[in-house]
Amino acid sequence: MNDLNRWAPQMLSVLRIVTGLLFLQHGTQKILGFPAGDRPQPELFSQLGIGGMLELVGGVLIILGLFTRPVAFVLSGMMAVAYWQFHGLQSAYPILNGGELAALYCFVFLYFVFSGPGPWSLDARLRNRT
């Protein structure tokens, strides 16, 4: 077990990178139209457009591990709002209201607020420079 524990910091970085890559797709779909979805692209300054920009820019910053804690705080809040606005009022059960992904993103981003980005990040590299 101790052999696995020593890889925990690196796996935190892997979790952050994969989460950012998955989250980024939501932004590229809304803002760039890729991959093509079944909804039209939202107006840039609409709620969905602003959400798409946060997904796009926030996803890239999470992947890079740059400004991880404040970005993760904003994205966690965004996902909490998305859950309650679009899913939570339909049913008490995320599996029934389709909100399990929003809830999971909310708590993974909240975890990054407290854990930080892990060693494979620009934040760690910048911190080690000073």
Distance CA 86, CA 33 (A): 21
48, two tokens:
């969905």
What confidence score (pLDDT) does residue 8 get?
A: 97
State whether the Cα torsion 117-35-102-58 is positive or negative.
positive
d(CA 51, CA 123): 24
Whether this model's pTM surpasses 0.85: yes
Please answer whether residues 66 and 123 qualify as being in contact, where contact means their C-beta atoms are separated by less than 8 angstroms.
Answer: yes
Judge contact between 50 and 59, C-beta under 8 A. no
- The confidence score (pLDDT) of residue 130 equals 64
One digit per residue, the tens of pLDDT, for the chain of length 130 reads 689 999 999 999 999 999 999 999 999 999 999 998 888 889 999 999 999 999 999 999 999 999 999 999 999 999 999 999 999 999 989 999 999 999 999 999 999 999 999 999 999 999 998 6
